Amino acid sequence: MSGSFSSNAMASKAKAMYGKRLKETDYQELLRRRSVNEIAAYLKNETGYRDILTGINEHSIHRGHLEMLIRQRFFLIFLQLIRYGDTAKSSFYKYGIYLIEIKQILVTIRAFNDKDRSTQIAQMPIFAGKYTSFDLEKLVVATDYDQLLEVLKNTVYYEALKPYRPKSNDDFDYTVCEVALKAVYYQQVNAIIEKEFSGDIKKQMKEIFNTQIELDNVTKIYRLKKYYKASPEEIEKVLNPTFERIPKKKLIEWIETCDAETFLQRVSESAYKNYIDDKNFVFIEYHTDAIHYNLNKHIIRFSSNPDLILVAFLGLLEIEIQNIIDIIEGVRYNVEIDKISKLLIY
């Protein structure tokens, strides 16, 4: 039991923050707002987003700025919570940084051929710069794979990406890079968990991250089947060989025998059945996120381990932020309230 006084404080703080999450009435109110400014005003005046939005001019805030501030809140809360955490586990708390780094590398790879890098610049989390293992700002000037590798030199990503160095900029395989980077992430997290935790906590922590891997696999399988009509062999090649709630044998069988919809049906009847909500199909990420949401909620309610609570709370916060972004985008593109509402997980 890692029950030091300070880490218990982290658990209390996380639970208190969880108490201030957006509730159903908040979502209903947000859905009623018909402009980005009204959404900003509601978040600023009525919710826990008050802190990050204080000082903005809600009457004329730029949508992109609002989204960025909301996303930034995730990182600020993460930093705020780990201050209360167990300093001995500081390497564990890096798992959030890995996610940021991987995302920025993938954005850079996608932008190689773009003349205009303004979107990348705009969304770059410069505030996280002092925690990352490489200089984020240098990514903006990397216009090909070699330059990217140069920036990533001396990081764990260098070795992972090096084998996939393309002959030309037009030749590289984005999916392979994504799989490789995700593999790095899980390896790193796994290594940290092995090192930092033991016993039951270690088991539960692994369960959380392995479930993430498994759900990633589920998404991949569904997409490859539905949109790329990929063969079972092609699918198996890109999967991360980690299995948590669905046994390997069963998953392979489903890959080989089911089409996309049947596959999803099988998943919903599997060990995940208690975590899938009863909404009709929206899109695959909705279901995997809903499973995440319910798993994390379960942990927050029943676990007393501060680190588990931290991971679960951050997982829930990420979903909440995605909900708000969905509402903002919905309003921006005049999507009907019912349709936006279906995307929300709460």
Partner 1 sequence: MAIEKMRLLRLAGSKENIEKILLTAFSTRDLHAELASHVVNDGNGGELLPEDSTYADYLNRIESIIRSLHSELMCTFDGVTTFTNDEIEAYLTQVENNYEKINETLMNQSSLTKEDKDALTKLREFNIDALNHTKYTAVNFGRLPISSLSKLPLHDEKRYAATILSKNNHYAWVFYVTLNENKTEVAKLFDSLFYEPIAIPKVDEKQLVFDCESVLGKIYGYVKHCADLRKYYKYIALFDKTAVITGFVPQRRVKKYKTMFGEMTDVVIQDFPAGLEEGLEPPTVLRNNWFAQPFELFVEMYGLPHYGEFDPTFYVSVTYALLFGIMFGDLGQGFLLVVIGWFLYRKSKGKLWGIVHRIGFSSMIFGTLYGSVFGNEELLNPMYQALGFESKPIHVMEPEFTMPLLGAAIALGAILILLSMTINIVLQFKRKNYGDALFSQNGIAGWIFYGSILFGVALQMGLKINVANPFTIGLFLIVPLVIILFRVPLKNLIAKLQVKPHEGWVGYLIESFFELFEVILSFMTNSMSFLRVGGFVMSHAGMMIVVTVLEGMTGKFGIVTLIIGNLFVIGLEGLIVGIQTLRLEYYEMFSRYFEGGGKKYVPTNMQN
C-alpha 235 chain-centroid distance: 22
Q: Which of residues 91-120 bind partner 1 (CB under 8 A)?
A: 118-119
Residues with Cβ < 8 Å from 229, sequence gap 6 or more?
A: none
Comparing CB distances to partner 1, the nearer of 35 and 262 is: 35
Cβ at position 126, least distance to partner 1 in Å:
6
Regarding 55 and contact with partner 1 (CB under 8 A), the answer is yes
Contacts 24+ apart (CB under 8 A), 204-209: 204/299, 204/303, 204/305, 204/308, 205/307, 205/308, 205/311, 207/244, 208/295, 208/299, 208/308, 208/311, 208/312, 208/315
User: Which one of 12-20, 55-63, 260-268, 326-334 is the stretch in contact with partner 1 (CB under 8 A)?
Assistant: 55-63
Cβ at position 100, least distance to partner 1 in Å:
15
In angstroms, the CA 99 to CA 74 distance is: 12
Regarding 280 and contact with partner 1 (CB under 8 A), the answer is no
Q: Which of residues 229-268 bind partner 1 (CB under 8 A)?
A: none
In angstroms, the CA 179 to CA 170 distance is: 19
Determine phi and psi for 166, rounding to 5 degrees.
-85, 170
Cβ at position 42, least distance to partner 1 in Å:
17
Comparing CB distances to partner 1, the nearer of 59 and 273 is: 59
**Which run of H or E residues covers position 233?**
helix 232-238
Among 9, 68, 97, 156, binds partner 1 (CB under 8 A): 68
Among 20, 32, 50, 65, binds partner 1 (CB under 8 A): 65
Cβ at position 296, least distance to partner 1 in Å:
28
Helix (H, G, I), strand (E, B) or coil at 252: helix
Cβ at position 118, least distance to partner 1 in Å:
4
Comparing CB distances to partner 1, the nearer of 139 and 218 is: 139
Among 121, 191, 298, 332, binds partner 1 (CB under 8 A): 121
**Which is nearest to 220 in space by CA: 316, 285, 282, 295?**
285
List residues binding partner 1 (CB under 8 A). Answer: 54-57, 59-62, 64-65, 68-69, 72, 118-119, 121-122, 124, 126-127, 137, 140
